[in-house]
Amino acid sequence: MANPRAFISFDFDNNEGQKNYFIGQSKNSRTPFNIEDWSSKQSLTQSEWERIIKEKINKCNMLIVLVGKQMASATGVVKEIQFAKECNVPIFGVYVDSATALNTLPNGLVRSRTISWGWEGIASQIDKVMTEGKNN
């Protein structure tokens, strides 16, 4: 079976560097998943962005939210979580940028499904969401 595909959701204004680092490290890890970097490379209207991002999320097996310290202001992340829920795509979060369980999570992301950045834990979360499937 091919590796599952993950959509990475992150705070574009504050955590693009962590997203790039996460993607780079994932290629060298033994974590069984492929990341699709579908960040918009051009300016889009809100309705275009929503349509395109929802289509891309629906093509993935999971949504991984990179949770930084400024997550409360990341409205795009909240929308991506909403789209994942509408498409029954499982979601989990990974703390980045020195964020911890004391930081605010975006609406829709559950604290019990948000973990510290470590490839063993990430692999475990991937196994869990793949076992649960697209209906949970």
Comparing 109 with 34, the larger pLDDT belongs to 109
Whether the pLDDT of residue 114 is over 50: the answer is yes
Summarize the confidence of residues 26-55 as an average pLDDT: 81
pLDDT at residue 51 greater than cutoff 90: yes
How far apart CA 18 and CA 14 sit, in angstroms, is 9
The pLDDT assigned to 41 comes to 63
| Cα separation values, 126 from 2, 47, 51, 72, Å | 13, 30, 26, 25
Q: Mapping DSSP to helix (H, G, I), strand (E, B) and coil, where does residue 11 land?
A: coil
In the predicted structure, residue 79 carries a pLDDT above the cut 80: yes
H-state helical runs in 29-95: 46-58, 75-86
Provide the pLDDT confidence category of residue 36 given band limits of 50, 70 and 90: low
Confidence (pLDDT) at 64: 95
Global pTM? 0.91
Domains of the chain: 5-25+45-132 (3.40.50.9200)
When pLDDT is averaged across residues 1-9 and rounded to a whole number, the result is: 84
pLDDT of 40? 66
- Cα separation, 76 vs 110, in Å, equals 17
pLDDT (mean) for 22-48:
79
What's the mean pLDDT in 84-100?
96
